[in-house]
Amino acid sequence: MSVAEVPDPAAFEVACAVRSLGDGTLTADLRHEWSIGTHPHGGFVIALMARAALAVLSEHGEPSTDPLAVSAEFLRPPAIGPALLRTDIRKVGRRATVVAVRLEQRGRSCVEATVTTGRLPVRRPDWTDLPRMPAEPPPRAIHLAGETAEGVFNLAKGCDVRVDPATAGFLTGRPGDPPRLRLWVKPRHAAPDAFFALLAGDINPPVVVNLGRAGWAPTAQLTALVRARPAPGWLRVQVDCRTVQEAWFDSDATVIDSAGKLVCQARQLALAPAP
């Protein structure tokens, strides 16, 4: 194989690959290119678990489907390196099929998820209410790369992320902005797909950084809904927070594709760093 034919390990579709052991168990590598500091990125982890669910359904002769929803409990932080994915098909239905997926490392369960699969809609919605954002990042948008409040943003190797400086006081030395961010993201090596939409729902730095609460903000629970297949181009993301109270905060992400379609909604509960 020539150098030109060697897949780039930072490419999302390569890093998201799973390998079946033939008994409903799969293996994968949590690569540093899809991590923040020393921690695998949570959105990447749930995209990987959704891919494992689809892979095991294919092995059982189920027709090709799409991820519709992922509800994940983060029990302990996974580490960069090999991971085991154990699956259990809980229901096979005409409209929705449900697969339980457990990600293990060193014999311990790190993340447990319920993945709902089915057919994504293709027709225009009957009604929608979405935030207004430009389809592409403005020239003044800030590239998210290098050191962040949570550690080195290694995802910049595999995707391009831009932040609206009007919502990111923590990046521009402006204290006291509300916990709300607007971003744009796209993979570097391919068009976005439904799995990348899942990652995009968690692409943002923790919104509490605008309140001066910088540092690692581990997710306790994350639920993401995939609403449509993304069109090629930038995905625009708006992230809002409803309340920050003691150690906890919530984060709601709305992901819109270049055609103006809602492609993902993600809500999570996370621990806020100390002020």
Partners of 250 in beta bridges: 269
CB neighbours of residue 143 within 10 Å: 12
* pLDDT score recorded for residue 271: 96
CB neighbours of residue 20 within 10 Å: 16
Cα separation, 229 vs 225, whole angstroms: 12
Q: How confident is the model at residue 232 (pLDDT cuts 50, 70, 90)?
A: very high
- Tell me: the pLDDT tens digits for 43-59? 999 999 999 999 999 99
* pLDDT score recorded for residue 6: 55
Kindly tell me if the per-residue pLDDT of 5 is higher than 60.
no
- Tell me: the pLDDT tens digits for 83-111? 999 999 999 998 999 999 999 999 999 99
- Tell me: the pLDDT tens digits for 167-215? 998 888 887 889 999 999 999 989 999 999 999 999 999 999 999 898 8
Kindly tell me if the per-residue pLDDT of 275 is higher than 90.
no
Non-local (6+) Cβ contacts of 172 within 8 A are 142, 165
Mean pLDDT to the nearest integer, 139-149: 89
